[in-house]
Amino acid sequence: MGAVDGGALVGKALVNEGVEKAFVLCGGHIMPIFYGMRNAGIEIIDMRHECAAVYAAIAYTRASGKTAVVVTTAGPGVGNTPAGMMEADSLGIPVVQIGGAVATNKRDTCDLQDMSTLKVMETCSKWARKVNSTDRIPEYISMAFRYAQDSSPGPVYLEIPTDLVFNPVDEATIVFPEKYRTKAIPYGDPALIDSAAQLLANAQRPAAIIDDGARFTMGDKAADVAALSDYLKMPLGISGWACRGLFGDEAENPLVRTNAVGTADVILALGCRFDFRMGSGALIPKDATVIQVHTDMRQIGFNLRADIGIVGGAGPVASQLLEAVKDKRNTPAEASWIGEPSKEGIMNLFEG
């Protein structure tokens, strides 16, 4: 070990978080961060506009399930990103943006790009902070990821003044947080699981719909979502795109990409946000029984009644429901109530 600058600490801390890619647009205030990420083995993807960098990070995170980092320079560089950050917030995408800032001793002196960007980012991020010393960079990065990846994922912003990323420190004195965040995904309340399984097992027209909110609470249980669909021959509609392809070959098993909630009698909603994309819940049959599953309690019952509301991850809850349904129904369904799903195309949202 020896002297390292703040940029090197950023690179090391991001690797500890499992970051593989960073979407950036370079600037003098943040160059040590680029060197630190490159030396740590993180792929740097240089964009032509900072907002495009955020959108690229959103797309990468939705497709891979891995949190991407956006790095933008001070002042206008950060100021170009709010539209993308608001989009990430509306979708519940855990994007971590690191922004540059004027040196701490130059604040309020009209130095180059001396702007109140932290105030701006507080309006479009679920959590926003400014680092106040070089040796705390790893600590703040760990906090940023904890907030970005909690039970209600979303974009966060971390601002690091330029003097802190250039400042050398003795690496031996730096504390890199360890074991500070659980990777556990919550399971559902057993009593509610039992009630939901009873409804699904007895349903004449069960249907499920899964939304982007399930992408980051799937864990290694995606196969159980597909198995539950197969056991009940229950059509599984996929809203959004983040969960596409997680449940096997959709060409071979169109049941896992067929949306039939419009005429179902029992509906299982996994990780759904009933916003405008889902008609704000208005297109769900009024006489259907709705089972909502989400890690964010605020989404359960939002815009649509939750006859049973289960706080838990989509993957673990699907696994619980599969076992409970098997206990209540000894044999799997022989055919789906919607008939043989078409291999020609995906049914439209809420199509019966």
Distances (CA, A) of 44 to 20, 166, 337: 9, 19, 49
Per-residue confidence at 345, pLDDT binned at 50, 70, 90?
Answer: very low
Distance CA 200, CA 183 (A): 29
Per-residue confidence at 287, pLDDT binned at 50, 70, 90?
Answer: very high
Q: Residue 213 in contact with residue 296, Cβ under 8 Å?
A: yes
User: Mean of the per-residue pLDDT values for the chain?
Assistant: 92
Residue given tokens 């946000």 in the structure block: 273
pLDDT in tens, 179-233: 888 888 999 999 999 999 999 999 999 999 999 999 999 999 999 999 999 999 9
Rg over alpha carbons for the chain, rounded to the nearest Å, is: 23
How many of the other CB atoms lie within 10 Å of CB of 126?
Answer: 19
pLDDT in tens, 245-268: 899 888 888 898 889 999 999 999
Per-residue confidence at 107, pLDDT binned at 50, 70, 90?
Answer: confident
> Helix, strand or coil for residue 44?
strand
For the chain, strand residue ranges (E) read 3-5, 21-25, 43-46, 69-72, 96-101, 127-130, 156-161, 168-170, 206-210, 236-238, 266-270, 289-294, 308-311
CA dihedral 32, 34, 37, 43 (to 10 degrees): -170
| Structural domains of the chain, with CATH | 3-173 (3.40.50.970), 190-328 (3.40.50.1220)
pLDDT at 241 over 90: no
Distance CA 87, CA 82 (A): 8
Distance CA 305, CA 308 (A): 9
Per-residue confidence at 344, pLDDT binned at 50, 70, 90?
Answer: low
Per-residue confidence at 114, pLDDT binned at 50, 70, 90?
Answer: confident
Distance CA 300, CA 285 (A): 17
